[in-house]
């Protein structure tokens, strides 16, 4: 990918059975993920919101933090949260992909097309400084995918990349030969080599809400949407967050917990 000057901005995004009662005791083996570390080894802020955050509020807070990071006045941060039910339109979105307007639709500057956010879905807004970590957007996207795949592997779920479809996919032979479901989406924005927006992973959302759109522009009936619950992995959001944080640290380095200001 062609390098970007520091005053440019880009958007990258959608590249576009129940578990047995006795789950395997051994962890799924995957290749060690490629790291994307900060040379100083400093700790990334790890912030979790325990209440649903309105989308416009989240955008304002991200914008403010990223601007401070560009001025070297704020640290790197990963922000975990949930949104109320809504749809977002990325920079490549086609309004024809909104099939029914049950929820509000927000225009957003991230890359990608139409997607759904709502309760039961873990959003991770990733604000990292690529000026220090390396100005390589393809490698950054691969690191985000690796983070998701590493976390899923700890649950004995094999997440996979696809060259023609961004996000992380799982094979679903129980639904037919060649059927695959997306379990996690990626849509980011980069401003002066500082990243924001991020990823979403389906823990236990209402999957019927995806029926109001063509998710990420993928209309092929062989490619659907799934969640941990849909695959038979019942767990609390907080339990997943622990696994997700461990996987993040293996790729991006150490974190430190921070709390929301009153």
Task: Give the Å distances, CA to CA, from 165 to 94, 160, 186.
Answer: 17, 11, 10
* Residue 235 CB neighbour total at 10 angstroms: 14
CA-CA distance, 203 to 199, in Å (whole number)? Answer: 13
CA-CA distance, 228 to 183, in Å (whole number)? Answer: 8
CA-CA distance, 170 to 180, in Å (whole number)? Answer: 6
CA-CA distance, 218 to 216, in Å (whole number)? Answer: 6
In contact, 255 and 249? CB cutoff 8 Å? yes
Q: Exactly one of 141, 216, 218, 228 is catalytic; which is it?
A: 216
- Within 8 A by CB and 6+ apart from 93, the residues are 112, 113, 114, 217
Q: Three-class SS of residue 129?
A: strand
CA-CA distance, 78 to 62, in Å (whole number)? Answer: 10
CA-CA distance, 201 to 228, in Å (whole number)? Answer: 9
Angle, vertex CA 67, rays to CA 65 and CA 73, nearest 5: 75
Task: Judge whether 216 counts as a catalytic residue.
Answer: yes
Catalytic residues: 216
């Amino acid at each position: 990918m062609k390098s970007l000057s520091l005053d440019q901005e880009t958007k990258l995004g959608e590249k576009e059975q129940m578990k047995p009662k006795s789950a395997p005791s051994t962890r799924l083996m995957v290749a060690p993920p490629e790291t994307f570390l900060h040379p100083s080894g400093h700790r990334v802020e790890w912030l979790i919101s325990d209440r649903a955050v309105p989308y416009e509020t989240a955008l304002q807070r991200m914008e403010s933090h990223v601007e401070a990071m560009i001025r070297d006045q704020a640290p790197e941060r990963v922000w975990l949260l949930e949104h109320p039910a809504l749809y977002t339109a990325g920079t490549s979105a086609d309004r024809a992909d909104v099939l029914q307007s049950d929820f509000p639709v927000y225009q957003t500057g991230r890359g990608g097309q139409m997607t759904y956010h709502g309760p039961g879905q873990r959003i991770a807004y990733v604000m990292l400084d690529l000026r220090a970590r390396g100005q390589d957007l393809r490698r950054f996207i691969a690191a985000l995918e690796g983070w998701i795949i590493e976390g899923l592997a700890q649950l004995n779920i094999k997440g996979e990349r696809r060259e023609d479809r961004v996000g992380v996919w799982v094979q679903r032979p129980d639904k037919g030969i060649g059927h695959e479901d997306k379990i996690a989406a990626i849509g980011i924005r980069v401003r002066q080599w500082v990243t924001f927006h991020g990823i979403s992973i389906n823990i236990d959302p209402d999957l019927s809400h995806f029926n109001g759109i063509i998710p990420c522009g993928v209309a092929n009936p062989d490619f659907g949407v799934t969640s941990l619950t849909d695959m038979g992995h019942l767990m609390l959001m907080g339990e997943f967050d622990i696994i997700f944080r461990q996987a993040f640290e293996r790729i991006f380095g150490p974190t430190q917990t921070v709390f929301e200001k009153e």
